[in-house]
Amino acid sequence: MTTTQEASKGERVADWLDGRLGIHTLGRKYLRKVFPDHWSFLLGEICLYSFVVLILTGVYLTLFFHPSMNEVTYHGSYVPLNGVRMSEAYASTLDISFDVRGGLLIRQLHHWAALIFVAAMLTHMMRHFFTGSFRKPRELNWLFGWTLLFLGLFEGLMGYSLPDDLLSGTGLRFVNGALLSVPIVGTYLSMFLFGGEFPGHDIVPRFYSLHVLLIPGVMAALVVLHLLLVVHHKHTQFAGPGRTERNVVGTPFMPVYLAKAGGFFFLVFGALTLVAGVAAINPVWVYGPFRPDQVSTGAQPDWYLGFAEGLVRVMPGWEITLWGHTLVLGVLIPVVVFPLLLVFIGVYPFLESRLTGDKREHHLLDRPRNRPTRTAIGAAWISLYLILLAGGGNDIVATRLHLSINTVTWTVRVAVFVLPAVVFVATRRICLGLQLRDRELVLHGRETGLIKRLPHGEYVEVHQPLDPARRHTLTAHERPGELMGGEADPDRVSLDRRRKTPSGQGPRSS
Ligand code: HEM
Ligand code: HEM
């Protein structure tokens, strides 16, 4: 029992820790940190929680997975493959699926979490793109995030190559083809990666070290840096009454945000587990072990790399010979365009600030319609990604829709150039139209549906003025120089973010 004078056990532990780690000062500074409330902030959290699920499930898989390409004869519980010769990696994946307790669930959870992780990263990225939160001072954090996406794509590729089944071997054959197309050093690169002629005996153990150690380590470090920078810069927020470039309006980290975030973690974990429990993914036993002389029909990479596959599938098979060297342009051009597509979105913040001359800090988010050119670029980029994804599944599209594969391939070839241009123009027009509608609303109010007849016989619809808060939200944006090289206002090059704000709002810097 404790008396009033005596500190409780909890307090004594906190005191002990404070003496060693200074947690009191840290806690005072950060536990009351203000977080703005908007559903789109949940996308970053989905990235974070699915990454945690990947690490937890990945560690479980390492306990049973054998990253070896040595040949063994399978005698496990899956009878159709009994007596078949296969690599140890494939045999251990079958064991995880059929003989390890909870193994299949964890494998499927790992795979589903990977799919959702990349989808969440792409959605989170585009949400930040469309609302302009990548602008100064967050360009570096945008680059950290972008690197996470880039590493995530390759981490996924390595992951689904590990089981050494027919599908993953076909994916590796694709990687080998891409390497071989690199001029001069292509053969050397392929021999180096595979430890000899494809498929060699080294690729699974090599990918394993990268997949479970190096890349997750780098990613975890980047996630920590990414989140530290979010805390350091504070959140951006959408414009609204009381919200300025100098404050953050929202709820404190402790207890409100922490409770919500904690609950949301379990929701994400639960939803992923539910999907993994009911929806089969990557049933490797159906494909069989990898054999270089076989390929399964309808072989597809995981969805996020489908656009790279699409680039190769729709590219004409051009080849030229220069100074005695054959250049396989049909593969080389896609291999160059694939990273460029990603690099474009990665360097976009720097391009935009250069083209608009806007070097100011921004903490209030844009409504996409108020930045028609940026929004149109983002929409065009997404349309290119999606059409290439369709190209990557041209065989599936052709068989499912009963079309000729040539028709599908040619449609994608034309659409790769036409669709982004059409989407760009249409999105810009839609944004400008929405701006006009906002202006109409602010000037004339909301249509009420009430028709009045005036004394001289004219019929008019009664408009109701918007409430001041909504009017503020609709008008709280500047008229930007929209990528036209407009000069930024020199008075506002750097905002004084240290100014104190009224109570209930967090100052921008603490
Ligand atoms: C493992 C992957 C990632 C994790 C765990 C993650 C997590 C988060 C979280 C929790 C936030 C704060 C909440 C929010 O604004 O949504 C955030 C903010 C941010 N993220 Fe990410 N993110 C990841 C990937 C990315 C990617 C791929 C990009 C873009 C290329 C990106 C760009 C940003 C930016 C610019 C912010 C700051 C926004 C602001 O202050 O309002 N992140 N991230
Ligand atoms: C961003 C993180 C990660 C992604 C996107 C990812 C993705 C994948 C994918 C798609 C697979 C194929 C799963 C299947 O068999 O259907 C896989 C397999 C595997 N992953 Fe990961 N993974 C990640 C992190 C990790 C981590 C941190 C570990 C270990 C510490 C790990 C360990 C494994 C192992 C051992 C396998 C092979 C077992 C198997 O395929 O059943 N992964 N990974």
DSSP 142-190: HHHHHHHHHHHHHHHHHHHHTT-BHHHHHHHHHHHHHHHTSTTTHHHHH
Does the CB atom of residue 163 touch ligand 2 within 6 A?
A: yes
- What residues flank ligand 1, with Cβ below 6 Å? 41, 43-45, 47-48, 51, 121, 124-125, 128, 133-134, 138, 141-142, 145-146, 148-149, 223, 226, 230, 233, 235-236
Ligand 1 atom nearest to 365, measured from its CA: 41
Report d(CA 466, CA 430) in Å as an integer. 23
Establish how many alpha carbons lie within 13 A of residue 262's alpha carbon, considering only the half-sphere containing its beta carbon: 7
Which CATH number is 370's domain given?
1.20.810.10
What's the pLDDT at 43? 97
Ligand 2 center to residue 37 CA distance, Å? 33
The token pair that represents 37 in the structure block? 């409330």
- Domain membership of residue 363 (yes or no) is yes
**Digit-coded pLDDT (tens) for 75-120:** 999 999 999 999 999 999 999 999 999 999 999 999 999 999 999 9
For 355-372, what is the mean pLDDT? 94
* Contacts (Cβ under 8 Å, ≥6 apart) of 194: 176, 200, 202, 203
Does the CB atom of residue 97 touch ligand 2 within 6 A?
A: no
Please determine, for residue 488, whether its predicted confidence score (pLDDT) is greater than 80. no
Print the domain residue range for 110: 39-443
Which 8-state DSSP code applies to residue 40? Answer: G
What's the pLDDT at 507? 53
- Domain membership of residue 485 (yes or no) is no
- Domain membership of residue 457 (yes or no) is no
Band (pLDDT 50/70/90 cuts) for residue 480 is low
**Digit-coded pLDDT (tens) for 34-83:** 888 899 999 999 999 999 999 999 999 999 999 999 999 999 999 999 99
- Domain membership of residue 34 (yes or no) is no
Q: Mind giving me the DSSP string for 369-426?
A: GGSHHHHHHHHHHHHHHHHHHHHHTHHHHHHHTT--HHHHHHHHHHHHHHHHHHHHHH
Q: Mind giving me the DSSP string for 277-336?
A: HHS----HHHH-B--TT---TT----GGGHHHHHHHHHS----EEETTEEE-HHHHHHHH
Alpha-carbon 180 to chain mean position:
29
The token pair that represents 291 in the structure block? 């054999």
The tally of domains found in the chain comes to 1
- Domain membership of residue 156 (yes or no) is yes
- Domain membership of residue 87 (yes or no) is yes
For 362-370, what is the mean pLDDT? 95
What's the pLDDT at 292? 86
**Digit-coded pLDDT (tens) for 417-430:** 999 999 999 999 99
Please determine, for residue 323, whether its predicted confidence score (pLDDT) is greater than 90. no
Band (pLDDT 50/70/90 cuts) for residue 490 is very low
Q: For a pocket test of ligand 1, which of 134, 151, 223, 230 has the largest count of ligand atoms closer than 8 A to its C-beta? A: 230
Which of 332-346, 457-471, 495-509 has the lowest average pLDDT? 495-509
The token pair that represents 145 in the structure block? 């995030």
Does the CB atom of residue 55 touch ligand 2 within 6 A?
A: yes
Which 8-state DSSP code applies to residue 216? Answer: H
Whether cis (ω within 30° of 0) applies to the bond prior to 199 is yes
Nearest CA to ligand 2 atom 8: 159
- Domain membership of residue 339 (yes or no) is yes
For 114-128, what is the mean pLDDT? 98
Q: One-letter amino acid identity for 205?
A: P
Band (pLDDT 50/70/90 cuts) for residue 489 is very low
- Domain membership of residue 492 (yes or no) is no
CB–CB of 375/427 below 8 Å? yes
Reported pTM: 0.91
User: b or e along 336-351 (b: 16 or more beta carbons within 10 Å of the residue's beta carbon)?
Assistant: ebbeeebeebbebbee
Ligand 2 center to residue 163 CA distance, Å? 10
CB–CB of 332/181 below 8 Å? yes
What is the phi/psi pair of residue 85, to 5°? -85, 140
Task: For the chain, give the percent of residues with pLDDT over 90.
Answer: 81
